Chain A
Amino acid sequence: MIIPILAAFAAGLLVILSRQVNGRLSMSTTPLISSFWNHFVGFAFLSVVGLIVGGLIPANIAEMPWRIFTGGAIGVVFVASGSWLITRIGAVNSTLLVIAGQMVFGVIFDLLRGAPVTVWAAGLGVLLILAGMWLTQRKR
Protein backbone atom coordinates (compact mmCIF):
# COMPACT_ATOMS: atom_id res chain seq x y z
CA MET A 1 0.00 0.00 0.00
CA ILE A 2 2.97 2.29 0.58
CA ILE A 3 3.89 2.25 -3.13
CA PRO A 4 0.53 3.55 -4.46
CA ILE A 5 0.51 6.21 -1.72
CA LEU A 6 4.00 7.40 -2.69
CA ALA A 7 3.07 7.24 -6.39
CA ALA A 8 -0.01 9.44 -5.92
CA PHE A 9 1.90 11.95 -3.79
CA ALA A 10 4.83 12.03 -6.23
CA ALA A 11 2.41 12.64 -9.10
CA GLY A 12 1.29 15.81 -7.31
CA LEU A 13 4.92 16.87 -6.83
CA LEU A 14 5.58 16.33 -10.55
CA VAL A 15 2.60 18.49 -11.56
CA ILE A 16 4.21 21.40 -9.75
CA LEU A 17 7.75 20.54 -10.87
CA SER A 18 6.66 20.58 -14.52
CA ARG A 19 4.88 23.93 -14.10
CA GLN A 20 8.01 25.34 -12.44
CA VAL A 21 10.35 23.99 -15.16
CA ASN A 22 8.07 25.10 -18.01
CA GLY A 23 7.71 28.47 -16.29
CA ARG A 24 11.50 28.86 -16.27
CA LEU A 25 11.68 28.06 -20.00
CA SER A 26 8.91 30.58 -20.72
CA MET A 27 10.95 33.30 -18.97
CA SER A 28 13.68 32.91 -21.61
CA THR A 29 11.30 32.21 -24.51
CA THR A 30 7.49 32.51 -24.50
CA PRO A 31 4.71 30.49 -22.80
CA LEU A 32 3.65 29.03 -26.18
CA ILE A 33 7.19 27.90 -27.07
CA SER A 34 7.50 26.40 -23.58
CA SER A 35 4.20 24.55 -24.09
CA PHE A 36 5.47 23.20 -27.43
CA TRP A 37 8.63 21.76 -25.80
CA ASN A 38 6.58 20.28 -22.96
CA HIS A 39 4.36 18.38 -25.40
CA PHE A 40 7.13 17.44 -27.82
CA VAL A 41 9.44 16.02 -25.13
CA GLY A 42 6.55 14.17 -23.47
CA PHE A 43 5.49 12.75 -26.83
CA ALA A 44 9.02 11.63 -27.74
CA PHE A 45 9.52 10.00 -24.32
CA LEU A 46 6.15 8.19 -24.38
CA SER A 47 6.77 7.04 -27.96
CA VAL A 48 10.08 5.45 -26.91
CA VAL A 49 8.49 3.79 -23.87
CA GLY A 50 5.62 2.62 -26.11
CA LEU A 51 8.04 1.08 -28.61
CA ILE A 52 9.82 -0.81 -25.81
CA VAL A 53 6.69 -1.98 -23.99
CA GLY A 54 4.59 -2.42 -27.14
CA GLY A 55 0.84 -2.24 -27.67
CA LEU A 56 0.68 1.53 -27.30
CA ILE A 57 -1.74 2.25 -30.13
CA PRO A 58 -5.03 0.31 -29.92
CA ALA A 59 -6.22 -1.37 -33.12
CA ASN A 60 -9.58 0.38 -33.00
CA ILE A 61 -8.17 3.92 -32.82
CA ALA A 62 -10.01 4.91 -36.02
CA GLU A 63 -13.38 4.07 -34.44
CA MET A 64 -12.83 6.20 -31.33
CA PRO A 65 -15.01 9.32 -30.89
CA TRP A 66 -13.43 12.49 -32.27
CA ARG A 67 -13.58 14.33 -28.93
CA ILE A 68 -10.79 12.20 -27.42
CA PHE A 69 -8.44 13.96 -29.87
CA THR A 70 -9.24 17.38 -28.38
CA GLY A 71 -7.50 16.82 -25.02
CA GLY A 72 -4.07 17.68 -26.44
CA ALA A 73 -5.31 20.96 -27.90
CA ILE A 74 -6.79 21.98 -24.54
CA GLY A 75 -3.52 20.89 -22.92
CA VAL A 76 -1.45 23.26 -25.08
CA VAL A 77 -3.50 26.22 -23.88
CA PHE A 78 -3.46 24.96 -20.28
CA VAL A 79 0.33 24.46 -20.14
CA ALA A 80 1.02 27.82 -21.84
CA SER A 81 -1.30 29.61 -19.42
CA GLY A 82 0.35 27.84 -16.47
CA SER A 83 3.79 29.11 -17.52
CA TRP A 84 2.42 32.60 -18.06
CA LEU A 85 0.69 32.61 -14.67
CA ILE A 86 3.40 31.12 -12.45
CA THR A 87 5.82 33.92 -13.34
CA ARG A 88 3.14 36.47 -12.41
CA ILE A 89 1.23 35.13 -9.39
CA GLY A 90 3.71 32.55 -8.03
CA ALA A 91 3.53 28.81 -7.44
CA VAL A 92 1.15 28.74 -4.45
CA ASN A 93 -1.45 31.03 -6.06
CA SER A 94 -1.23 29.12 -9.36
CA THR A 95 -1.68 25.79 -7.60
CA LEU A 96 -4.57 26.96 -5.43
CA LEU A 97 -6.51 28.73 -8.17
CA VAL A 98 -6.06 25.98 -10.76
CA ILE A 99 -7.27 23.42 -8.20
CA ALA A 100 -10.13 25.74 -7.24
CA GLY A 101 -11.20 26.08 -10.89
CA GLN A 102 -10.81 22.36 -11.50
CA MET A 103 -13.05 21.54 -8.52
CA VAL A 104 -15.74 24.20 -9.07
CA PHE A 105 -16.02 23.58 -12.82
CA GLY A 106 -15.88 19.84 -12.13
CA VAL A 107 -18.96 20.09 -9.90
CA ILE A 108 -20.79 22.28 -12.46
CA PHE A 109 -19.79 19.91 -15.27
CA ASP A 110 -21.01 16.85 -13.37
CA LEU A 111 -24.32 18.58 -12.53
CA LEU A 112 -24.82 19.51 -16.21
CA ARG A 113 -24.16 16.00 -17.52
CA GLY A 114 -26.32 14.42 -14.82
CA ALA A 115 -23.52 12.54 -13.01
CA PRO A 116 -24.19 11.77 -9.34
CA VAL A 117 -23.27 14.69 -7.06
CA THR A 118 -23.72 14.76 -3.28
CA VAL A 119 -25.15 18.23 -2.93
CA TRP A 120 -24.25 19.06 0.69
CA ALA A 121 -20.59 18.04 0.31
CA ALA A 122 -20.10 19.60 -3.13
CA GLY A 123 -21.88 22.81 -2.09
CA LEU A 124 -19.93 23.18 1.16
CA GLY A 125 -16.71 22.38 -0.71
CA VAL A 126 -17.38 25.10 -3.30
CA LEU A 127 -18.14 27.62 -0.51
CA LEU A 128 -14.85 26.83 1.29
CA ILE A 129 -12.97 27.17 -2.02
CA LEU A 130 -14.58 30.54 -2.80
CA ALA A 131 -13.65 31.76 0.70
CA GLY A 132 -10.05 30.67 0.09
CA MET A 133 -10.00 32.45 -3.28
CA TRP A 134 -11.22 35.62 -1.59
CA LEU A 135 -8.15 35.42 0.66
CA THR A 136 -5.75 35.09 -2.30
CA GLN A 137 -7.06 38.21 -4.02
CA ARG A 138 -7.06 40.55 -0.99
CA LYS A 139 -4.58 43.39 -1.20
CA ARG A 140 -1.62 43.10 1.13
Chain B
Amino acid sequence: MTSPPTQRTNPLHLLAAFASGGLLTLAIFVNGEAGRLGGAMFSSWLAHGVGTLVAIIFLAAVWRGQRAATAAATAKIGKAPLWAYIGGLCGAVTVMLTSISVNSPLALAGTLALGLAGQVVLSLAADFWGLLGLPKRKLDLRDAGAVILIAAGSLLIILFGLGAA
Protein backbone atom coordinates (compact mmCIF):
# COMPACT_ATOMS: atom_id res chain seq x y z
CA MET B 1 0.00 0.00 0.00
CA THR B 2 1.17 3.52 -0.73
CA SER B 3 -0.50 5.05 2.32
CA PRO B 4 -0.05 3.70 5.84
CA PRO B 5 -3.14 2.08 7.33
CA THR B 6 -5.13 4.60 9.31
CA GLN B 7 -5.64 3.47 12.88
CA ARG B 8 -7.65 6.40 14.17
CA THR B 9 -11.27 6.16 13.15
CA ASN B 10 -13.47 9.21 12.76
CA PRO B 11 -16.44 8.97 15.19
CA LEU B 12 -18.70 10.49 12.52
CA HIS B 13 -17.85 7.61 10.16
CA LEU B 14 -18.73 5.13 12.90
CA LEU B 15 -22.02 6.95 13.51
CA ALA B 16 -22.78 6.84 9.77
CA ALA B 17 -22.17 3.07 9.76
CA PHE B 18 -24.54 2.71 12.73
CA ALA B 19 -27.20 4.77 10.93
CA SER B 20 -26.80 2.68 7.77
CA GLY B 21 -27.68 -0.36 9.91
CA GLY B 22 -31.04 1.37 10.48
CA LEU B 23 -31.49 1.64 6.70
CA LEU B 24 -30.78 -2.09 6.48
CA THR B 25 -33.54 -2.78 9.03
CA LEU B 26 -36.02 -0.86 6.87
CA ALA B 27 -34.87 -2.51 3.64
CA ILE B 28 -35.10 -6.00 5.18
CA PHE B 29 -38.59 -5.19 6.46
CA VAL B 30 -40.02 -4.10 3.09
CA ASN B 31 -38.08 -6.76 1.15
CA GLY B 32 -39.38 -9.33 3.64
CA GLU B 33 -42.92 -8.22 2.84
CA ALA B 34 -42.19 -8.57 -0.89
CA GLY B 35 -40.83 -12.06 -0.11
CA ARG B 36 -43.99 -13.10 1.73
CA LEU B 37 -46.12 -11.90 -1.20
CA GLY B 38 -44.04 -13.23 -4.09
CA GLY B 39 -41.15 -15.40 -2.82
CA ALA B 40 -37.53 -14.69 -1.86
CA MET B 41 -36.22 -14.73 -5.43
CA PHE B 42 -38.88 -12.24 -6.56
CA SER B 43 -38.11 -9.98 -3.61
CA SER B 44 -34.40 -9.91 -4.41
CA TRP B 45 -34.98 -9.50 -8.15
CA LEU B 46 -37.34 -6.57 -7.49
CA ALA B 47 -34.93 -4.88 -5.06
CA HIS B 48 -32.03 -5.22 -7.53
CA GLY B 49 -34.18 -3.97 -10.43
CA VAL B 50 -35.53 -0.94 -8.58
CA GLY B 51 -32.03 -0.32 -7.20
CA THR B 52 -30.58 -0.30 -10.73
CA LEU B 53 -33.13 2.31 -11.86
CA VAL B 54 -32.65 4.47 -8.77
CA ALA B 55 -28.85 4.32 -9.11
CA ILE B 56 -29.15 5.45 -12.76
CA ILE B 57 -31.34 8.40 -11.72
CA PHE B 58 -28.89 9.40 -8.96
CA LEU B 59 -25.92 9.04 -11.34
CA ALA B 60 -27.63 11.12 -14.03
CA ALA B 61 -28.21 13.91 -11.50
CA VAL B 62 -24.55 14.09 -10.42
CA TRP B 63 -22.79 12.63 -13.48
CA ARG B 64 -20.19 15.38 -13.99
CA GLY B 65 -18.86 15.07 -10.45
CA GLN B 66 -18.92 11.26 -10.61
CA ARG B 67 -16.96 11.23 -13.87
CA ALA B 68 -14.35 13.61 -12.49
CA ALA B 69 -14.06 11.63 -9.25
CA THR B 70 -13.63 8.37 -11.19
CA ALA B 71 -10.94 9.89 -13.39
CA ALA B 72 -9.08 11.12 -10.30
CA ALA B 73 -9.44 7.77 -8.49
CA THR B 74 -8.28 5.78 -11.50
CA ALA B 75 -5.29 8.08 -11.98
CA LYS B 76 -4.32 7.54 -8.35
CA ILE B 77 -4.72 3.79 -7.86
CA GLY B 78 -5.41 2.43 -11.34
CA LYS B 79 -8.40 0.74 -12.95
CA ALA B 80 -10.53 -1.66 -10.97
CA PRO B 81 -9.95 -5.35 -11.75
CA LEU B 82 -12.82 -7.07 -13.59
CA TRP B 83 -13.83 -9.13 -10.54
CA ALA B 84 -14.59 -5.91 -8.68
CA TYR B 85 -17.65 -5.47 -10.91
CA ILE B 86 -19.38 -8.69 -9.85
CA GLY B 87 -20.02 -7.97 -6.17
CA GLY B 88 -23.71 -8.08 -7.10
CA LEU B 89 -23.50 -11.85 -7.59
CA CYS B 90 -22.81 -12.25 -3.86
CA GLY B 91 -26.02 -10.49 -2.91
CA ALA B 92 -28.06 -12.56 -5.36
CA VAL B 93 -26.59 -15.86 -4.10
CA THR B 94 -27.03 -14.75 -0.47
CA VAL B 95 -30.79 -14.65 -0.99
CA MET B 96 -30.81 -18.23 -2.27
CA LEU B 97 -28.72 -19.44 0.68
CA THR B 98 -30.82 -17.69 3.31
CA SER B 99 -34.05 -19.02 1.83
CA ILE B 100 -32.63 -22.56 2.27
CA SER B 101 -31.84 -21.96 5.95
CA VAL B 102 -34.92 -19.88 6.85
CA ASN B 103 -37.11 -22.75 5.62
CA SER B 104 -35.15 -25.30 7.70
CA PRO B 105 -35.39 -25.92 11.47
CA LEU B 106 -32.88 -23.06 11.86
CA ALA B 107 -35.70 -20.62 11.04
CA LEU B 108 -35.06 -16.87 10.92
CA ALA B 109 -33.28 -16.60 14.29
CA GLY B 110 -30.78 -19.38 13.52
CA THR B 111 -30.17 -17.97 10.05
CA LEU B 112 -29.43 -14.51 11.46
CA ALA B 113 -27.19 -15.89 14.23
CA LEU B 114 -25.09 -18.06 11.90
CA GLY B 115 -24.97 -15.27 9.32
CA LEU B 116 -23.62 -12.95 11.99
CA ALA B 117 -20.89 -15.49 12.75
CA GLY B 118 -19.97 -15.66 9.06
CA GLN B 119 -19.81 -11.87 8.83
CA VAL B 120 -17.56 -11.53 11.86
CA VAL B 121 -15.18 -14.31 10.73
CA LEU B 122 -14.67 -12.95 7.21
CA SER B 123 -14.36 -9.31 8.26
CA LEU B 124 -11.67 -10.22 10.81
CA ALA B 125 -9.80 -12.09 8.07
CA ALA B 126 -10.33 -9.20 5.63
CA ASP B 127 -8.81 -6.61 7.95
CA PHE B 128 -6.01 -8.93 9.10
CA TRP B 129 -4.80 -9.81 5.59
CA GLY B 130 -6.13 -6.79 3.68
CA LEU B 131 -8.16 -9.07 1.38
CA LEU B 132 -9.17 -8.07 -2.17
CA GLY B 133 -7.10 -4.93 -2.45
CA LEU B 134 -8.49 -3.10 0.56
CA PRO B 135 -6.18 -1.66 3.24
CA LYS B 136 -4.91 -3.91 6.03
CA ARG B 137 -5.91 -2.89 9.53
CA LYS B 138 -4.14 -3.91 12.70
CA LEU B 139 -6.44 -5.68 15.12
CA ASP B 140 -5.97 -5.43 18.86
CA LEU B 141 -7.65 -6.38 22.12
CA ARG B 142 -10.13 -3.52 21.79
CA ASP B 143 -11.37 -4.95 18.50
CA ALA B 144 -11.74 -8.34 20.20
CA GLY B 145 -13.73 -6.73 23.02
CA ALA B 146 -15.98 -4.89 20.58
CA VAL B 147 -16.59 -8.10 18.58
CA ILE B 148 -17.50 -10.05 21.73
CA LEU B 149 -19.82 -7.36 23.15
CA ILE B 150 -21.64 -6.57 19.91
CA ALA B 151 -21.96 -10.25 18.92
CA ALA B 152 -23.25 -11.19 22.39
CA GLY B 153 -25.76 -8.31 22.41
CA SER B 154 -26.96 -9.18 18.89
CA LEU B 155 -27.36 -12.89 19.71
CA LEU B 156 -29.38 -11.96 22.80
CA ILE B 157 -31.70 -9.81 20.67
CA ILE B 158 -31.96 -12.35 17.83
CA LEU B 159 -32.51 -15.44 19.99
CA PHE B 160 -34.51 -14.06 22.93
CA GLY B 161 -35.42 -10.41 22.33
CA LEU B 162 -37.55 -10.33 19.18
CA GLY B 163 -40.56 -12.35 18.11
CA ALA B 164 -40.83 -14.40 21.32
CA ALA B 165 -43.67 -13.51 23.67
Contact = CB atoms under 8 A, between A and B. Distances in A.
A24 B156 contact: no
Nearest to B37: A64
Contacts of A23: 132, 134
A81 B16 contact: yes
Interface residues of A, number: 113
Interface in A67-82: 67-79, 81-82
Contacts of B31: 68, 71
Interface string A85-100: 1111111111111111
Which secondary structure characterizes the binding site on chain B?
Answer: helix
Contacts of B50: 69-73
Nearest to B163: A116
A109 B148 CA distance: 24
Contacts of B22: 101-102, 104-105
A122 B162 contact: yes
B123 A16 contact: yes
Nearest to A94: B17
A15 B119 contact: yes
A122 B79 CA distance: 45
Which secondary structure characterizes the binding site on chain A?
Answer: helix
A42 B48 contact: yes
Nearest to B141: A135
Contacts of B34: 64, 68, 71
Contacts of B16: 81, 85
What 10 A-B pairs have minimum CB-CB distances, sorted nearest first?
A101-B21, A12-B118, A72-B50, A128-B153, A132-B149, A41-B88, A18-B90, A122-B161, A4-B104, A42-B88
Interface of B: 6-11, 13-14, 16-31, 33-34, 37-39, 41-56, 58-59, 62, 66, 69-70, 73-74, 77-81, 83-94, 97-98, 100-101, 104-106, 110-111, 113-124, 126-127, 131-135, 137, 139-140, 142-143, 145-150, 152-165
Given A16-B118, A91-B124, 13 more contacts: A16-B126, A19-B87, A23-B134, A27-B134, A29-B73, A46-B41, A92-B139, A96-B123, A96-B150, A102-B22, A109-B26, A125-B152, A135-B142
19 contacts: A8-B106, A15-B90, A23-B134, A24-B134, A25-B80, A27-B73, A28-B70, A37-B85, A39-B52, A42-B44, A70-B50, A88-B13, A92-B146, A94-B123, A101-B20, A102-B22, A105-B25, A115-B163, A137-B11
Interface of A: 1, 3-5, 7-25, 27-30, 32-43, 45-47, 49-50, 53, 56-58, 60-61, 64-65, 67-79, 81-82, 85-107, 109-110, 115-118, 121-122, 124-129, 131-133, 135-140
